[in-house]
Amino acid sequence: MKQWQGQALAPGIAAGEVFFYRRPDRTGLPTAQEPGEEWARFERAAATVREQRLALAQKAREEADPAAAEIFEIHAMLVEDEDFQEQVHEAVLAGAGAAEAAARAGKEFSEQFAAMDDEYFRQRAVDFADIADALCAVLNHEEDRLAALDRPVILAAEELTPSETIRVPRRFILGFITQLGSQNSHTAILARTLGVPALSGVPVEPGWNGRPGMLDAGTGAFCLEPDEAQLERARQFAEQAKREQCELERLKDRETRTGDGRKIQIFANAASLEDVCNAAESGAEGIGLFRTEFLYLAGGAAPTEEEQFLVYKSAVQAMGGRPVVLRTLDIGADKQVDYLDLPREENPAMGLRAIRLCFARPGLFLDQLRAMLRAGAFGPVRIMFPMIASEQELDRALELLEQAKEQLRSAGTAFGLDQVGIMVETPAAAVMSDVLAKKVDFFSIGTNDLTQYTLAADRQNPAVTAGMDPHDPAVLRLIRRTVENAHNSGIWAGICGELGADTALLPLFLEMGVDELSVTVPRVLPLRKAVLEM
């Protein structure tokens, strides 16, 4: 038995098979063979991709995700598109390898369709980029080892990017071990969303793959080949957790009030339709944060308006009349996507990110706003702008929102909007909250970024983790000021971030008059229990 010490990112104990993940090596394409052979390789790959997409469509329908099913079915048709295949064939005859020809055709078709006026055809741009990527993966014999997981494992990796975390099959994850990562890393956030333990600072190795392991976030220890005593500890923990969960299930339909009648709403954070469905099952009173950027991180091109609409609509319908807060695109800083060609920045956390990026790419922003508004025709959608730092930025965001509404009116397209709000996650927004409150329906205080910017401590830098104390009086004063200014203007204020689940601060939040807490799905019922016991 070998053991290592790490830093706990999410609580719990897990034992099981270790799955070591390493990104595929893509240092070049295979040398082109005789054109006839290359074309035959392409045809076999096209048939494989078509089968894969139809299988994914069927899986999506079984999991009640009609939006994804429709997208996969479109991909199955486009991979057989005559014009697309003809362009690949011409490139192969000119001497290109099958993978190079597919990549080239995908890029050209994507650019052509993106430039078209007709909305339907513009929506096909990202689909051609997607199937070209899938074809290249098959032709290069690449395997998406994350997506292919089919059994419960402890996932070990040097680090997981946002786009990798979204591909993780969540039902098979027992826990995470990473070499890099802080309390605010994407792995940590995903672990807390799933309610599984996680450790960082552990020197992961390929030789761990397939071997039994156990991680204990309570002690910060990970061991290979655990002994019987350790396994018994893991079993006892699992049994106790199951008993506690059964007790919590009884609170699903309870209204969240303290003993003296004070009401506070408990919403859930979500990054996928799966998270939304889990939130609905957990008794969450709404979705307080739908992280729409994960739609952009999951593919090789920006999702179209139609693709986004189908996802947002499904989320709204899954919540059955409970409000859904859709946060507009928050890309930049630690969430990068290659296809947007964002400039390299010395300090990206304070650079072109979130609402600033949306202003720089208004077409991208308007696509998203229209999709959100259209979903609002099916239930109470609330649109929320992130990283607002001034009244001028809020005015610009509201102008673009009105522009999106007018575009839908002109097209005769149904839409709806329950409320519009902002995330208060910059000290500037908190200081100016009395002015900003007059222009919106709600505030959602993003405590992770508010802490980072207030205390000048990079939340992604483990070297300054000690300086990231959300309990600091400066942070709490800004929260109080924001809540007071919201109520003075007759709007509600909630807390969205790790601090929302901090039961030690719950009495203070109730005293401040916080109206809503938005937390990871596993924290919804424990937080409700804490409120009911006050």
Catalytic positions? 186, 496
> Alpha-carbon distance 283 to 253, whole Å?
6
Please give the backbone phi and psi of residue 205, each rounded to the nearest 5 degrees, phi first.
-135, 145
The helix-helix angle for 473-488 and 447-455 (nearest 10°) equals 120
Q: State how far Cα 439 lies from the chain centre.
A: 28
CA dihedral (305, 311, 315, 320) in degrees, to 10, reads 80
| Residue 327 known to bind ligand | yes
Q: Cβ–Cβ contacts within 10 Å for residue 184, how many?
A: 22
* Sign of the alpha-carbon dihedral angle for 28, 33, 36, 41: negative
Residues 6+ apart with CB under 8 A from 1: 223, 224, 225, 226, 227
**What is the maximum span of the chain, computed from C-alpha positions, in angstroms?**
80
Check the annotation: does 274 bind a ligand.
no
- The CA-to-CA distance between both ends of the chain, in Å, stands at 45
Token pair 């060609």 in the structure block, residue: 341
- For β-strands 153-157 and 173-178, DSSP reports them as parallel
Give the span between the Cα atoms of 414 and 409, in whole angstroms: 8
Q: Please check if 472 is assigned to a binding site.
A: no
Counting Cα atoms < 13 Å in the Cβ hemisphere of 90 gives 8
Residue 425, annotated ligand binder? Answer: yes
CA distance 74 to 82: 14
Summarize the annotated binding site as residue ranges.
291, 327, 425, 448-449, 459
- Annotated binding residues for phosphoenolpyruvate, written as ranges, equal 291, 327, 448-449, 459
| Binding site per annotation, positions for Mg(2+) | 425, 449
